[in-house]
Amino acid sequence: MQERYRTVAREGVHEIEINKSRFICALAPAATEQLAQEFLRRVRAEHPTATHNCFAYVIGADGAVQKAGDDGEPGGTAGVPMLQMLLRRDVRYVAAVVTRYYGGVKLGAGGLIRAYGGVVGEALDVVGTVVRQRFRLATVTIDHQRAGKLENDLRATGRAVREVRYAEAVTIEVGLPEADVDAFRAWLADVTAGAAGLELGGEAYGDA
């Protein structure tokens, strides 16, 4: 499993004009293929009169799912260069839709490839990217008396505190790099004098 991956920081749109044709690239993070397809449908609904709405998406930290579509452009001139740009820039869990409004001047196959790939690259620069790190989820249980200090200690040592829940006891969910689990267990026992419980859960990705 990948230790980290890069994705887009947020949804965003970037537009260029080439020979009177408008190319509008919409980017969005997409955790699943279904979300990528929903984003494509949403963009298509926003541009019902567009000449083309071409797409590409990469799902999975290892890029396991890769899809692209030309939406009526000559085969291989739109979706594929969009997908290649996403892969070249090493972004994952991302969907890109390029909406084209034809301006009356044909660009030729080479021109289309440069336009579709280029607007995706520019959009990635404009929107920005973030790196997500793989974490092991861990739930710490502690009494109310010690909870405030422990939470402060966790944050002070740079631990990724994801959630704090108050009930009969206080549970604090943290994200740990896999290599840090044993050291964290020892640190926790030390700072709480053995009063805290630790339960390891599954894995997730968070900000690196």
The whole-angstrom separation of Cα 129 and Cα 123 is 10
Output the CATH code of domain 132-207: 3.30.70.240
Of 12-21, 33-42, 176-185, least confident by mean pLDDT is 176-185
How far is residue 107 CA from its own chain's centroid?
A: 32
If you count them, how many residues does the chain have? 208
How far is residue 65 CA from its own chain's centroid?
A: 14
Tell me the pLDDT of the chain averaged across its residues: 94
CATH homologous superfamily of domain 4-127? Impact, N-terminal domain (3.30.230.30)
The whole-angstrom separation of Cα 57 and Cα 78 is 13
Check residue 176 and give its pLDDT. Answer: 87
Q: Is the pLDDT of residue 1 over 70?
A: no
Check residue 147 and give its pLDDT. Answer: 95
The answer to whether residues 31 and 7 touch, using CB atoms and an 8 Å cutoff, is no
The whole-angstrom separation of Cα 26 and Cα 116 is 12
Q: For 112-141, how does the pLDDT look when each residue is reduced to its tens digit (9 = 90+)?
A: 999 999 999 999 999 999 998 888 889 999
Q: For 72-109, how does the pLDDT look when each residue is reduced to its tens digit (9 = 90+)?
A: 999 999 999 999 999 999 999 999 999 999 999 999 99
Phi, psi of 31 (to 5 degrees): -75, -25
- The pTM of the full predicted model, rounded to 2 decimals, is 0.74
Q: Where are the domains of the chain?
A: 4-127, 132-207
Check residue 207 and give its pLDDT. Answer: 67
Q: Is the pLDDT of residue 45 over 90?
A: yes
